[in-house]
Structure formats: C-alpha cells, structure tokens
Structure 1
C-alpha cells in the first residue's frame, strides 16, 4: 500500500506541475479554465487516495477528505465505524 500511495503522490505532483505550466500561458488559461480546474481536481483526488492508503485509521482519513465526492464514494465502501 505504501508503494501505491507513493505512486499516487508522484502522479499528483506531476499533474499539478503540468497544470501550473499550462497556467503560465494566458491564452491557455483564457480558453481552458475548466480543464485546468479539472487537472487540479485530479491531483487532489490522487492525494486523498494516497493519504487513505497510508492511514493508520481509514475512517479518520476519509473524514479528513476535503473533496465531498471522494469522501462519499470511499466512505460508503467502509463499514460503519463502531463507537
């Protein structure tokens, strides 16, 4: 799991770097802002998944997720947390 998390984190960094590079071109930004935002979202989702794979407590990792779609989809895959 640690290796998979590392790969996801590397991919997220590469995707973020690609988006940042594209943002240096004003024409690209003007014409592709939605796509650039999607690039950022992809990187964020990858980091959430990497954090989940590394977490000692998967429930806590899901709770810490800031992207509600990922939180909902991943959270529904785990059995309810027993108090």
Structure 2
C-alpha cells in the first residue's frame, strides 16, 4: 500500500495528481513490479459495458481483455489507466 495521488515533478517539487490519480499510480506500480493483475477497490461492483447511470441495461464485465479495455478507453471512459 502506498500513497496514490501525490507525486513529484521532475524538479523535485510536490505534485497532486488529478481525478483517478490513485488508480493511475496503482496501474503504474503494478506494471513496474510485473504484477499479473492490479485490483482497484471502489464503491461500485466492477467494470460495466457502459456507465450504468447513462445506460440502464449496461452489463457487468467479469473479465476485460486488452482490446475491450482499449475500446472503452477510446469512448472517453474515465476508469481505465
């Protein structure tokens, strides 16, 4: 466990990451450490095919491969890092 949204500028100054900064940090550290997966614990039950607030019949995704994640990211989702 480590801090998530506090970082450092190249000049050594403190930087506060924006919304999702903790998730971005987790993904970065997971990749850096060679983790087989990174878990993000939130108050929602998981990833959906669309924002359930906008699309009532959005379905919960039990698995997500790279290409599906890429598609979701290109549609403007703010949950992928």
Settle same-fold status: TM greater than 0.5. Answer: no
Q: Which has the higher contact order (CA 8 A, sep 6+)?
A: 1
Structure showing greater Rg: 1
Which protein is richer in helix relative to its size? 1
Which protein is richer in strand relative to its size? 2
